[in-house]
Amino acid sequence: MLTDLVDELLARPLPWPIVQAGDPVLRNPALPYAGELADGTLAALIEGMKVTMHEAPGVGLAAPQIGLPVRLAVVEDRAQERPGVPASTLEARGIAPLPFRVLVNPRYTPLGEERAAFFEGCLSVHGWQAVVTRPLRVRLETEDETGSSLEEELAGWPARIVQHETDHLGGTLYLDRAELRSLSTHAAVAERWAQPTPENAAKELGFELP
C-alpha cells in the first residue's frame, strides 16, 4: 500500500536515493493519487521530495523516482541562480523561474504546432544528456497538495520541465523521446555542446532538428 511505502521512505534520512533507469517503477504508469495519505504525512513527503530535488540538484522530481508508484511530482527552477550561464543561453532556451509547486495527477496538452529541441537530462539517468524535441507551449491541468484544481499555460523551459515530470508518471523517460545520436555525457555537453542551441551538435553528430 502507498501508506506503507511512504512510511518506510519517511523513516530514511534525507536526501532520499533516486531510482535509476532499469527499475520497473520508472516504467509502469503510476496510480492516481486519491487522498490516501493523512495531511501531515503528505506534507512530510512533499518536503522530503523538495529537499531531495534540491540536493540532487534538479528542477523536478516525480514520485516514481523515489520508488513511489503514484501520480505526484514537485518542480522548481531557480533560473536566476545559474552562475556562469550567459543571458543569451537563458533566452534561447526559454529558461525562466518556475516557482515551487506540487503536481498531483497532472496532465498536459500541447498548444500550437511549435516545437523546440534542446539537450535534456534526468536524475534517473545519471551522467547523460540527449536532445529532446518537445512542444514549446503546453496547458497544464493538475491539482495541488490541497486538492484544488489548477490550470495554467506554460512556455519555454518551464513547459519542458512540466512535460518531463508528467511523462515520468506515465512510465516514460526522456530517452524515449530523445534523438539517440545526440546522447552525450555531461562532460561532453559541457566541453562540446554548451552553445545556446544544439545546432552544432546536430551537424557534428548527424541528426536533424525540427
C-alpha radius of gyration, the chain, whole number? 17
Domain locations along the chain: 2-205
- In the prediction, which pLDDT does 58 show? 96
pLDDT tier, 175 (very low <50, low <70, confident <90, very high otherwise): very high
Rounded (10°) CA dihedral 20, 76, 32, 129: -30
| Amino acid sitting at position 48 | G
Mean pLDDT of the chain: 96
**Residues 115-158 pLDDT 10s:** 999 999 999 999 999 999 999 999 999 999 999 999 999 999 99
- In the prediction, which pLDDT does 59 show? 97
- In the prediction, which pLDDT does 85 show? 81
pTM, to two decimals:
0.96
Please identify which residue in the block is written with the cell numbers 495531511. Answer: 39
Please identify which residue in the block is written with the cell numbers 497532472. Answer: 106
Q: Which of 128, 131, 124 is nearest to 56 (CA)?
A: 124
Q: For residue 13, is it left (φ>0), alpha (ψ between -120 and 50) or beta?
A: beta
Name the class of domain 2-205: alpha beta
Q: How far apart are CA 99 and CA 48, in angstroms?
A: 17
**Residues 102-124 pLDDT 10s:** 999 999 999 999 999 999 999 99
- In the prediction, which pLDDT does 53 show? 98
Q: Which of 199, 186, 194 is nearest to 86 (CA)?
A: 194
Q: Is 164 annotated as a binding residue?
A: yes
Does residue 100 carry a pLDDT above 80?
Answer: yes
Catalytically active residues are: 165
SS3 content of the chain, % helix, strand, coil (to 5): 35, 30, 40
pLDDT tier, 70 (very low <50, low <70, confident <90, very high otherwise): very high
Mean pLDDT across the stretch 89-111? Answer: 95
Q: Dump strand ranges (E) for 47-177.
A: 60-62, 72-77, 98-110, 115-121, 128-135, 137-143, 149-155
Q: Are 106 and 71 in contact (CB under 8 A)?
A: yes
